Structure 1
Amino acid sequence: MTPGTPRNRSDETLAGSFERYLQDKGKGRGGDGGNYRRNAARELERFAEWAAGNRGDDWTGIIPDDVDRDPTFEDLDERVFREYARHLAGDRGLKQNTVQTYYRYISAWCGWCVNEGYLEAHYAQRASAMAPLPEDDGRKPGDQQAWTSAQRHALTRHVDERARDAVEAYTTLPEDTDPIDKQRARYAALKAARDRALVFVLAYTAVRVGELLRDPNDPRRRGVRWEDLSLNDGSMDVYRKKQQWDAASLPDPVISPLRSYRKLMDPSTERWPVFPTFDQRTLAGLVQNELEDRGERPESITERRDEYARDLLLALDEDIRPPSITTDGARSILQRLSEAAEIDIDHPKHDYLAPHGGRRGMGEVLVRAFGYTVAARYLDNSEEMVRERYSHIEAGELGDVATEALDEIEPRSRG
C-alpha cells in the first residue's frame, strides 16, 4: 500500500490510531518515552474528547445526535479541523502561540494518518481548516526554544557528576589493572569529559553550534581546535556567521571543564579538534587508512589495533587526527543527555535541549542582567536584532514601569 491510500477503515475509532502514532514518535524501546510523546498524547486525548462531545457544555461532538458511536475517520474532514481550530482559538485561557502549538500536535497526527492510509488528505493543513487560528506573530514558536535556568542547571549538573564519576573511576584504578581495562576506563572518562565540556560551552558561551563544530558542507567550518582556545585569557577563536574569524568569550564556568578535559585527552598537537567524533566506524576507517598510508602492513595494523580497547586511543598515541563532531552529532548527544538527565521539556518541536536553546537561554540572562547593548556584543548580533528576538523582556519591564506609575499616581483607585 502506498502512502495516502485509504485503508477503508471508516469504522475505526480515532483513539485506535493514537497508540501506533505515539509509538512512532516516542523515544526508547517500544517508543514509550519522550516529552513529545507525552505532550502529543495529552492533546490527542483532548481532541478525541472534543470530537465525541465530552466537554461538559452544549457541544455534542462531530457525529449526528441520533448516532450512538465514537467518532471514526469517516467523520473527519477539513470542516472538523476548522471547528477544532475555532474551539482552541476561542479558549480565552490560551495564549496565541499556545493555540498554534496545540493545533500543531493534532495536525502532525493528521499528517501521519495520511501516510498510514487512515485519511485520504491532510485536512488539518488546508487553508480553510487553519483560518480560525490566530495569525502568526512572526515568533515561529518551533524555533524559539530557550534553556531555562532550571534546565541549564539540571543538564550541567548531570554531565558534571557523570564526568567526575568517570574520571575518578579511571584515575583510581589499581596499578595492576589489566591494560585493556584501563584503556576502557580512560575512554569512558574521555567521552564523559567531552560531553561535559560541550554542554558547558553551549550553555554559557552563546556561541552558535555551527561556529563550534564541523559542517560537512562548508570546509571552513572544521570545528574548533585546541589551538583556537586560550584558557588563560578566557577566549576562543571561531568562524562567525558573518564569514570571518572572531574571538568569543569563555566565561568562568566553562574553563574548568575544558582544562580537565584537555589534561585527560593530552593531545599530541594543538591541531586536534576540541570535540572529536567518537563514532567507532569513522575512527576505524580513519586509523586503517592512515596507518596504510604510513606504510604499515595489514597484519601489523591489525596487531596495533588489537592492542587498544578503542581506535580513538590509538589515534591519540599516533596523532591521527579525527574530524570534529558535526552539528547533527551535537544534537544527538544532547538528545541522549537530556533523556538521561530526565529533564522536563515542554516544547512543540524539540523533546530535548537543542543546541540553539543554550544560546537563546544565555541571551535571556544577558539581556535581563546587562541590557540589550551588552547582550548584542556577547551574542555577536546587532542590537536591533537582539531587541526584536527578546522583545518579550522589554514588554515585561515596561509593564512593571506602568504598574509602578499607577501605584504612584492612582494608589487609592487601584485598592
Structure 2
Amino acid sequence: MTPRERADQSLESSLERYLQDKGKGRGGDGGNYRRNVERELERFVEWAAGEHGRDDWTGITPDGVGREPTFDDIDERTFREYARHLAGDRGLKQNTVKTYYRYISAWCGWCVNEGYLEAHYAQRASAMAPLPDDDGRKPGDQQAWTSDQRHTLTRHVDEQAREAIETYTTLPEETAPIDKQRARYAALKAARDRALVFVLAYTAVRVGELLRDPDDPRRRGVRWEDIDLKDGRMDVYRKKQQWDAASLPDPTISPLQSYRKLLAPPTERWPVFPTFDQRTLAELVKETLAERGNRPDDIEAQRDGYARDLLLALDADMRPPSMTTDGGRSVLQRLSDDAEIDIDHPKHDYLAPHGGRRGMGEVLVRAFGYTVAARYLDNSEEMVRKRYSHIEAGELGDVAAEALDEIDGSRQ
C-alpha cells in the first residue's frame, strides 16, 4: 500500500497493527501498556469522529462529509485540540493528561514511520501548547535515572535483543528469504536500541555528542571509525567544541560487539546508530540508485526484493544518516513505555537521555568524589559540585547527625 493509499484509510484501520507492535507475547495481544494505549486510542478515534458527547464538537472531518475520519484529516491542529480536550474537558490530573497525550503521540510517530502521516504533528510545539505546564521543580533541576530504573531499562532491552537475535539466527533453512530479512531487521533494531541504551546509561556522554544534530553539521553522529572496542574508548565532538575521547566501560562492550557483528557495516564510516526512519531511508535508496544510473523501474524492482530499505542500503553500501537527537529521545520514550518503568518527574514522563548522564554522575560522585566525576562527565569540578550539591548536603547532614549523637551521648 502506498503512502497516498494509507492516507485515505480510516484512523481505526491502523489501530490493530499498532497495538500488535506494542503488545507483549505471541500475537502482541498482551501487556499492561497495550491495554492502556488501546483504551486511550479508542477514545481518541471516538473524539475525532465527534462522538465524545459534546454538542458543539463534530469531529475533525470537514462539515457535511459523512464518513469516518481519515489520516488526510489530521494535522497539528488535531492534536492541539485533543490536548485541549484532555486538559479541560475530562477533569484529569496533570500527570494523567500528559500520559494520555503521550500514548497518542507515540501512535502518531508510528503512523509517520508506516507511511500514514507525513509528519509527527503531535510533537510540534503548537500541538502540545495546551498541555499543563510543568511545576514543582526549579528550572535547573533535571531527571536522573535511579539504579532501579537503569537496571529495569537495560534488562528490558537486553531481553528484547537476545530474543530477536535468537529468532533470526535459528530460522530453519527453508525459511523464505523475505521472512529472513524481516527477522534480521527486527534483530538489528533491537540490537541497535540495546546498544544505544547501554551507551547512554553507562558512558555519561551527552546525546548531542552521540547522535546527529540537524542544526549542527559538525555533530553528525558517532561512526564505527570513532569507536575502539578493544581499548574501550570512543571519540566524540564535545560540548566544548573539540573532539575528545570518552570511556566505554565494560557494560557497553558486549552490546556494541553483538550489534556490530549483526549489522556488519560495509565501511567504518557507517553511523553506529543509523536512522531506521522509513521515509528517510526510502529517499536515500531511491536517490542513490538513480545517481548510480538505475532507471525508475529498476529501482523499484530492487526495493521490492527487500523487506526494508535499510537492508538494501547495507548490501549496496548506501550510508544512511545517523539517528537524530530527537530520534534518540523518541526511542527512549518508546522503550520506557514498553518496559513499563515507574517514572515520577514533573518534566519527563520517560527516561530522557540526559537522565542517564546525570544518573551516572550521581554514582560517580558518591563512589569517587567530585574530581573523578568531573573528569568522567567532561565538566569542571565547580559545575559538578553545583549540579550535585544535594549529595554534599546529604553527607553534611549525616556528619551533623553524628556530631549531635556524640554530644548528646557525652552528656548522658
TM-score by length of 2: 0.70
Partner of 1:271: 269
Q: Deviations over 1:19-64 (max 9, x none)?
A: 498557614667999xxxxxxxxxxxxxxxxxxxxxxxxxxxxxxx
Cα gap change, 1:149 to 1:29, in 2 (>3 Å) = closer
Partner of 2:91: 18
- 1:412 deviates by 5.3
Could you say what secondary structure the match of 1:366 adopts? helix
Could you say what secondary structure the match of 2:256 adopts? helix
- Matched ranges for 1:1-400 at <5 A: 17-19=90-92, 26-27=100-101, 112=130, 139-140=138-139, 143-400=141-398
CA distance in structure 2 between the partners assigned to 1:348 and 1:412 by the alignment: 45
Partner of 2:74: none
2:97–2:131 Cα contact (<8 Å) kept: no
**Could you say which structure has the larger radius of gyration?**
1
CA distance in structure 1 between the partners assigned to 2:319 and 2:312 by the alignment: 10
CA distance in structure 2 between the partners assigned to 1:341 and 1:170 by the alignment: 22
- 1:296 deviates by 1.1
Taking only aligned residues, the RMSD between alpha carbons, in angstroms, comes to 2.8
Partner of 2:110: none
- 1:399 deviates by 1.2
Partner of 1:9: none
CA distance in structure 1 between the partners assigned to 2:178 and 2:192 by the alignment: 21
Cα gap change, 1:30 to 1:140, in 2 (>3 Å) = closer
- 1:403 deviates by 1.8
1:213–1:221 Cα contact (<8 Å) kept: yes
Identity of aligned residues (%): 74
Cα gap change, 1:218 to 1:265, in 2 (>3 Å) = same
Cα gap change, 1:209 to 1:401, in 2 (>3 Å) = same
User: Which amino acid in the other structure matches residue 318 of structure 2?
Assistant: I
Aligned residues: 306
- 1:113 deviates by 9.3
- 1:406 deviates by 2.2
Partner of 2:401: 403
CA distance in structure 1 between the partners assigned to 2:104 and 2:221 by the alignment: 35
Q: Deviations over 1:290-314 (max 9, x none)?
A: 0100111111111111111000000
Partner of 1:76: none
Q: Deviations over 1:170-202 (max 9, x none)?
A: 000011110000000000000000000000000
2:288–2:318 Cα contact (<8 Å) kept: yes
Cα gap change, 1:303 to 1:25, in 2 (>3 Å) = same
CA distance in structure 2 between the partners assigned to 1:259 and 1:32 by the alignment: 30
CA distance in structure 2 between the partners assigned to 1:396 and 1:204 by the alignment: 24
CA distance in structure 2 between the partners assigned to 1:198 and 1:356 by the alignment: 13
2:202–2:251 Cα contact (<8 Å) kept: yes
Which stretch shows the higher mean deviation, 294-303 or 318-327? 294-303
CA distance in structure 1 between the partners assigned to 2:104 and 2:207 by the alignment: 31
- 1:404 deviates by 1.8
- 1:410 deviates by 2.6
Cα gap change, 1:346 to 1:314, in 2 (>3 Å) = same
CA distance in structure 1 between the partners assigned to 2:154 and 2:301 by the alignment: 40
1:24–1:31 Cα contact (<8 Å) kept: no
CA distance in structure 2 between the partners assigned to 1:30 and 1:324 by the alignment: 26
CA distance in structure 2 between the partners assigned to 1:32 and 1:180 by the alignment: 28
CA distance in structure 2 between the partners assigned to 1:337 and 1:273 by the alignment: 21
Partner of 1:62: none
- 1:372 deviates by 0.1
User: Which amino acid in the other structure matches residue 212 of structure 2?
Assistant: R
Cα gap change, 1:113 to 1:153, in 2 (>3 Å) = closer
CA distance in structure 2 between the partners assigned to 1:275 and 1:235 by the alignment: 16
CA distance in structure 2 between the partners assigned to 1:15 and 1:273 by the alignment: 44
- 1:365 deviates by 0.2
CA distance in structure 1 between the partners assigned to 2:106 and 2:271 by the alignment: 36
Gaps of 5+ in 1: 4-13, 34-110, 115-123, 126-132
Which stretch shows the higher mean deviation, 17-26 or 155-164? 17-26
- 1:140 deviates by 2.1
Partner of 2:48: none
1:211–1:241 Cα contact (<8 Å) kept: yes
User: Which amino acid in the other structure matches residue 367 of structure 1?
Assistant: V
Q: Which runs of 4+ in 1 moved over 6 A?
A: 30-33
1:23–1:30 Cα contact (<8 Å) kept: no
2:332–2:351 Cα contact (<8 Å) kept: yes
CA distance in structure 2 between the partners assigned to 1:167 and 1:324 by the alignment: 22
